[in-house]
Amino acid sequence: MNYVFFLLIVISIIFGVINGNISKVSETMLSACDTAVKISFSLIGIMTFWLGVMRVAEKSGFVQFISKLLYPILKYIFKDTKKDSPVLGDISMSLSANALGLTNAATPIGLKVMRELQEENSDKESASDAMCMFLGMNTAGFQIIPATVIAILAGLGAKNPNDIILPTLIVTTISFFSAIVIASVLRRVWRKHD
């Protein structure tokens, strides 16, 4: 990704020189840096708040309560996991973090889930069905509260940054269930070919 950004910057400078607009390119780069810093500071506040909420939810047992509620559903979706596997609790924690819009908090949990699923995987050279399902669900990222997007909108001065909640809920719900359906269908198709 660093190469892509570097290439974009170099191309912008080259076209700025060719078109005689190098001063506009440098002005735009400086104003974009200023905007990036402002957005970063607005993200610090909201991420700290939601990470704190998640920590309180975890310490109070709310996350474990959600895990117990999700366990029967996750056990059905992740049929290949071992009985009473702790990975199902971690999957529910990852999904809960994503639902609250805490993608930064969900990432380390998601990595832990993938390590645990790899330990249970009999074929270490390819991803298991459970790994593919989790990756699809995690990538779709069902969100109730898109905290990061709200913070960015607020940092950019949006009048109603919370207006994004309903559209995000609709879109992420559709993508989340689509990921589950597609992964389930592909699991059956692949098994027929094996």
The yes-or-no verdict on residue 7 having pLDDT over 80 is yes
- The mean pLDDT value for 137-164 works out to 82
Specify if 5 maps to a domain: no
Name every residue whose Cβ is closer than 8 Å to that of residue 130 and which is 6 or more positions away in sequence. 78, 80, 81, 117, 120, 121
2 in a domain, yes or no? no
Q: Kindly state whether residue 164 falls inside one of the protein's structural domains.
A: yes
Q: What residue numbers bound the domain in which 124 lies? A: 42-193
What's the number of domains the chain is made of? 1
Q: What would the pLDDT profile of 61-107 be if each residue is shown by its tens digit? A: 776 787 778 878 888 888 878 777 778 888 888 887 777 766 767 78
* Token code pair at residue 90: 């971690």
In a domain, 26, yes or no: no
Residue 166 contacts residue 149 (beta carbons within 8 Å):
no
Question: CA dihedral in degrees (141, 142, 145, 148; nearest 10)?
Answer: 10
Query: Which among 115, 119, 70, 116 has a CA at the least distance from the CA of 93?
Result: 70
112, part of any domain: yes
Please provide the average confidence, as pLDDT, over all residues in the chain.
Answer: 82
Residue 31 maps to a domain: no
More confident residue, 63 or 129: 129
User: pLDDT tens digit string along 16-66?
Assistant: 888 888 888 888 888 888 888 877 777 777 777 767 776 787 788 776 787
Report the predicted TM-score, pTM, of the whole model to 2 decimal places: 0.68
Report yes or no on 105 lying in a domain. Answer: yes
Give the mean pLDDT of 113-136. Answer: 88
Cα 193 from Cα 24, distance rounded (Å): 57
Predicted pLDDT at 193? 61
With respect to residue 171, please indicate whether it lies within any of the assigned structural domains: yes
